[in-house]
């Protein structure tokens, strides 16, 4: 396979994955530093606070 064709396929796959990821919203947020995450964490990876809540739960209150 032509190396440029292979590279082109990899670029298209990357673009497709990036577009999918851009459409996803973070589901969790730290109430201390307001950092947002896609996965639940027991402590905020940014500031180490224990105040990570679901954005959906936060919107209800």
* Domain span at 56: 3-60
Decide if 55 contacts 39 (C-beta within 8 A): no
Number of independent structural domains in the chain: 1
pLDDT, tens digit (0-9, with 9 covering 90-100), for 8-21? 999 999 988 877 77
- Which two structure tokens, joined as six digits, stand for 24? 């996803």
Tell me, yes or no, if the pTM score tops 0.75: no
Average pLDDT over residues 24-32: 87
Cβ atoms within 10 Å, residue 16: 10
Tell me how far CA of residue 36 lies from CA of 12, 15, 58, in angstroms: 28, 23, 12
CA nearest 30: which of 61, 3, 54? 54
């Amino acid at each position: 396979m032509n190396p440029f064709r292979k590279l082109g396929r990899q670029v298209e796959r990357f673009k497709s994955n990036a577009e999918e990821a851009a459409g996803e919203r973070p589901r969790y947020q730290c109430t201390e530093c307001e950092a947002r995450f896609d996965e639940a964490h027991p402590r905020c990876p940014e500031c180490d606070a224990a105040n990570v809540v679901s954005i959906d739960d936060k919107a209800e209150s």
